[in-house]
Amino acid sequence: MNNFEKYSESFVEYLQIEKNASPYTVKYYRNDLEIFFNFLNQEGIHDLNEIKQRDVRLFLTSLYDQQLGRRSVSRKISSLRSFYKFLEREELVKESPFVHIYLPRTSKSVPGFLYMEELEKLFDVNDMTKPAGQRDQAILEVLYGTGIRVSECQGLTLKDIDFSIGTIFVKGKGRKERYVPFGRFAEIALETYIQEGRVRLLENSGTTSDSVFLNARGRPLTTRGIRMILNKIVERAALTVHVHPHKLRHTFATHMLNEGADLRTVQELLGHESLSSTQIYTHVTKDHLRDVYMSSHPRANDQNLD
């Protein structure tokens, strides 16, 4: 194992143990490091302390030569900055060559969301006389009603749901925990599923499980399984839009803001570490704000001129 591989493995251990990074995050970091190390080998650089800013700029040029977009390049720079921060902390390098390298500006994509008419179609297609239909309805109500991530939904256990005060205990990214309230529709769907459909699904496994959402064999659903369930719901609803779990999260945030919730509250409910992550949803509230202004301000329209 060369020094690059040794440092890479140490960094991955740090991500997994200290940062509690997801397998997807670790995979992307590994990939970014591998691309960087391949570039260094091609340039004849075999010591991380030998790398200068000009080498980093040459690396960036090589990325753009591969027709990579700004977002991809930005992520790679961010990954390598984190890698070098780790190396500096461990005193394995003297200085990061990425200190004065600035991330290319990326345009923030506008998150897609569903209108109430589209949501109503989704809520109306599940067969509530069957265990699978009750489960699917509960998943739909929880994802839209709380805005939690699909991984957080998949990880829910029975003890995480407190029906007495209407909250669920969510274990989020990086071991961050939060309580999220749920409303009456989600409460009814969850109670129906847990008391009826889940019991029947669990009978198929012959074992016990504390996971809330189970598959047809009575085993805990995977995140992939939840995505497949949503796809089938969309098919039955005959919607032409693509619906994924994160779109329901976007919809939750958008509708909350449109109905007057403040950014800080939505940030806390979503489990965002930074307020800037929540601010991307404010774009869709502009029309709503204008409507409120036009209907509320005494001098916003000409009705009082008569």
pLDDT tens per residue, range 179-197: 999 999 999 999 999 999 9
Query: What's the angle, vertex CA 131, arms to CA 128 and CA 133, rounded to 5?
Result: 45
Q: Which pLDDT score is estimated for 121? A: 92
Distance CA 30, CA 28 (A): 5
Residue 126 banded pLDDT, cuts 50, 70, 90: very high
Q: Across the chain, what does the average pLDDT equal?
A: 85
Q: Which pLDDT score is estimated for 257? A: 86
Q: Which pLDDT score is estimated for 286? A: 58
The crossing angle, in degrees rounded to 10, of helices 131-146 and 223-237 is 100
Q: Could you write out the DSSP letters of every residue in 255-268? A: HHHHTT--HHHHHH
Q: Work out the end-to-end distance of the chain between its first and last CA atoms, rounded to an integer number of angstroms.
A: 84
Hey, which residues are catalytic here?
149, 173, 246, 249, 272, 281
Type of residue found at 166: G
Q: Which pLDDT score is estimated for 49? A: 81
Alpha helix ranges (H) inside 50-102:
53-65, 70-89
Q: Does residue 107 carry a pLDDT above 60? A: no
Work out the percent of the chain whose per-residue pLDDT is above 90. Answer: 39
**What's the rounded mean pLDDT across residues 33-49?**
88
Q: Give CA separation, 212 vs 115, 125, 135, 183, in Å.
A: 28, 21, 9, 18
Q: Which pLDDT score is estimated for 134? A: 97
Residue range 3-89, CATH number: 1.10.150.130
Q: Which pLDDT score is estimated for 301? A: 62
Q: Does residue 1 carry a pLDDT above 50? A: no
Q: Does residue 108 carry a pLDDT above 60? A: no
Q: Could you write out the DSSP letters of every residue in 170-232? A: EE-GGG-EEEEE--HHHHHHHHHIIIIIHHHHHHTTTS---BS-B-TTSSBPPHHHHHHHHHH
Type of residue found at 14: Y
Q: Which pLDDT score is estimated for 47? A: 83
For residues 11 and 33, the answer to whether their CB atoms sit within 8 Å is yes
- Structural domain boundaries of the chain? 3-89, 116-243
**Superfamily (CATH) of domain 116-243:** Intergrase catalytic core (1.10.443.10)
Distance CA 169, CA 220 (A): 18
